[in-house]
Amino acid sequence: MHKYQISKMRNIVAGNWKSNKSINEAREWMSVMGEAMDSMPNDVRVIIAPPAPYLSELAGSDRNGILIAAQQVSAFSDGAYTGEFTANMLVSCGVDFALVGHSERRADFNESDEIVAKKVRRCIDAGLGVMLCCGENLASRDEGSQETVIKEQLISALEGVSSEEMTGVVVAYEPIWAIGTGRTASADQAAEMHRFIRHYLADRFDADTASKTSILYGGSCKPSNADELFTCSDVDGGLIGGASLDTADFQLIIKSDSSY
Ligand code: PEP
């Protein structure tokens, strides 16, 4: 018997465009998806993370319930940090969430666990939702240390975070070896890691907090595998990269996440 109530979980499908699409393509995507939202299941929350230059416009557009996420956020507060954009700025633009700790940011932009933790704190203090990404690399998976890696990432990222503050945090489990590779974690692998994360949250906070925290799977999720992944008991939805670029694929994935 789990310590948490599965029925209280919140289904979320979030898209991450990464550095793709022109502003016109972004507008077109939002217009098509905004209309399609009327026929999407109402138990799935939809989030999209466009490139930063488009955030303000898309957040202010007619988005029919689609939430907007930044793909990253500064670890600093407002001030003399050329090129950075802060959690406060994102909130002032109507942005709802920020992705924090995505493996591409960790690997390509040297974002350490310490920086990730600072970003989590900045977002929480600004009232910006956090989509906290964690995931092991192939070497860790091959040596069987994936749980240790994820636990260390979560301990560090959530240091000082209270259970009340967790209401603004979504966790995305994204095995690095599955991101953009076409290689997806099996349903068993995803279920095992999501169960592990849920239990960790129950130990770290409490059963109620663990039950209310959405835990998303990310890594080559697409219409053909979304059903199988989302039916795993602790998988509340997905963080979708490549397949979020296409509105038809994205809609199919959203439908796969419905509990109805
Ligand atoms: C991601 O970037 O978070 C991701 C899951 O990408 P993809 O779906 O393309 O593997």
Is 174 among the catalytic positions?
yes
Query: Which one is catalytic: 102, 104, 136, 165?
Result: 102
Is 228 among the catalytic positions?
no
Quick: pLDDT tens for 91-119.
999 999 999 999 999 999 999 999 999 99
Per-residue burial over 92-130, b if 16 or more Cβ lie within 10 Å, else e, is ebebbbbbbbbbbbbeeeebebebbbbbbbbbbebebbb
Query: Which one is catalytic: 104, 111, 136, 174?
Result: 174
Quick: pLDDT tens for 201-248.
999 999 999 999 999 999 999 999 999 999 998 999 999 999 999 999
Please tell me the distance from the alpha carbon of residue 105 to that of residue 113, in angstroms, as a whole number. 11
Strands (E), the chain: 11-16, 44-49, 67-70, 97-100, 129-134, 169-173, 215-218, 237-240
Is 179 touching ligand 1 by the criterion CB < 6 Å?
yes
Mean of pLDDT values over 47-73? 97
pLDDT of residue 7: 39
Mutation probe of ligand 1 site: the residue of 100, 239, 245 with most atoms within 8 A of C-beta: 239
- Using the atom order of ligand 1, give the atom closest to the CA of residue 218: 5
Cβ–Cβ under 8 Å, residues 13 and 222:
no
Is 176 touching ligand 1 by the criterion CB < 6 Å?
no
